[in-house]
Chain A
């Protein structure tokens, strides 16, 4: 199969043999080990747990370790590039700093009121808040949603789906006590109100999370807080 790998401003072409159950990460590894050792790429767990091997595969952001070549190859041809919307360090490796800085900007850290001297918080698993948290909590920060988002491309200040999803899960966490500060952080032109509900993040999330639903929840929460004079 012909594999085009984005390197800088151009694509380099490689011929890679097809194998049964071959993943896109297998293809990249084959190129790096057998054809061109200077190719830079990032991976770790190889089993869809760490999220570090996400790349653009035929212009779609995917975990390469969990993407079988059979599912994405077109006319015996594959195009692989670094994740969109992030600065490229080299070849297929992107700089994720801005992505994670935005988590911090969206107040993505948990802050509870209890200390270690208090008893465990009891959160019923079936309570409405916890059910909503469960829907968004499995994010591993791979950046696929961020690369899929057109609003991030058009408005680089936009916090992006992952950071906003994180903020939403914390707002719905009954133990967290910085809801108003977080709503302030995620409101406005760089926050949840910039989302156009294209649903690309939800479409591409390998964990089947819907950041779109979380962002809609944030919009409602901010509107309610503003109209009630809390913000």
Chain B
């Protein structure tokens, strides 16, 4: 992998971390606030179904996770497993795709 791509990955990880910092805070505050009154599953679905703002927020959240986590694991692979090269990057690309697919599947299930 070229040094340019490595530098772009670093920027992507920092940028996605900044997005996640906001998303995680909003997510935690919202769920803690929401459960105070004892919401049921159907009441949650009533709020999320068809809510485009909710869809947009959690789509960004999932996208940021699927960018951030594999890049972090790349360093873990180097430092803990001494695993480098194309095989590692391919596995992490698949991992990123799985995160995006599973995350968006859950988001769409609550939206549609």
Contacts and interface: CB of A to CB of B under 8 A. Distances in A.
A73 interface: no
Interface stretch (B5-13, B57-65, B96-104): B5-13
A187 B6 contact: yes
Interface string A83-110: 0000000000000000000000000000
Interface in B1-55: 1, 3-4, 6-8, 10-11
Interface residues of B, number: 13
A188 B7 contact: yes
Contact of B78 (A184, A187, A189, A226): A189
**Interface of chain B, main secondary structure:** helix
Given A219-B10, A226-B8, A226-B11, A184 B3 contact: yes
A154 B80 CA distance: 7
Given A187-B3, A188-B3, A223 B11 contact: yes
A117 B6 CA distance: 41
Interface hub of B3, B79, B84 (most chain A Cβ within 10 A): B3
Contacts of A227: 11
Interface hub of A151, A188, A231 (most chain B Cβ within 10 A): A188
Contacts, number: 40
Contacts of A226: 4, 7-8, 11
A188 B8 CA distance: 9
A133 B8 CA distance: 27
A191 to B, nearest CB: 8
Interface string A176-219: 00000000100111010110000000000000000000000001
A109 B80 CA distance: 32
A223 B79 contact: no
A193 B4 contact: no
Contact of B79 (A154, A184, A191, A219): A154
A194 B7 contact: no
B10 A223 contact: yes
Contacts of A219: 10
A62 to B, nearest CB: 26
Contacts of B1: 188-189
Nearest to A184: B3
A193 B10 contact: yes
Contact of B7 (A154, A155, A231): A231
B83 to A, nearest CB: 12
- Give the top 10 A-B pairs by smallest Cβ distance, nearest first: A154-B79, A188-B6, A188-B3, A187-B3, A226-B7, A193-B10, A187-B7, A222-B7, A223-B11, A155-B79
Given A154-B78, A226-B4, 19 more contacts: A151-B79, A187-B3, A187-B6, A188-B1, A188-B6, A189-B6, A189-B75, A189-B84, A191-B3, A193-B6, A194-B75, A219-B10, A222-B7, A223-B7, A226-B8, A226-B11, A227-B11, A231-B3, A231-B4
Interface of B: 1, 3-4, 6-8, 10-11, 75, 78-80, 84
